[in-house]
Amino acid sequence: MPKEKYDPPDPRRIYTIMSAEEVANGKKSHWAELEISGRVRSLSTSLWSLTHLTALHLNDNNLARIPPDIAKLHNLVYLDLSSNKLR
């Protein structure tokens, strides 16, 4: 059985939400919407600190599970998990 080929993300589509210094100083993101797509297999635990998110697009990835910490996103009203490997 062949292994899945890893394609690194397109560097033109990689964005930093906040610098390490901003995070260290306690700055919080107030983004309302976030899209993460492109064969992602796991989610960073820092995602669950973005409590102002109202929409989270996690479509078109290779996610097999969603951590229970997603419940920390109290303002979330839209969640797209289509085209993943969820069971």
Predicted confidence (pLDDT) at residue 79 exceeds the cutoff of 70: yes
pLDDT of 87: 83
Q: What percent of the chain has pLDDT over 70?
A: 69
Domain count, the chain: 1
For residue 47, being part of any structural domain is answered with yes
Q: What domain range is 54 assigned to?
A: 39-87
Please answer whether residues 16 and 25 qualify as being in contact, where contact means their C-beta atoms are separated by less than 8 angstroms.
no
In this predicted model, what pLDDT tens digit does every residue of 14-50 receive, in sequence order? 556 666 777 667 666 667 899 998 889 999 998 998 8
- Whether 28 maps to a domain, the answer reads no
- Residue 21 makes CB contacts below 8 A (sequence gap 6+) with none
Under the banding of pLDDT at 50, 70 and 90, the label for residue 7 is low
Does 12 map to a domain?
Answer: no
Among 82, 77, 83, 73, smallest CA distance to 29 is for 73
Q: Which residues of 12-47 are buried (b: 16+ CB within 10 A; e: fewer)?
A: eeeeeeeeeeeeeeeeebeeeebeeeeeeeebeeeb
Whether the pTM exceeds 0.75: the reply is no
In a domain, 14, yes or no: no
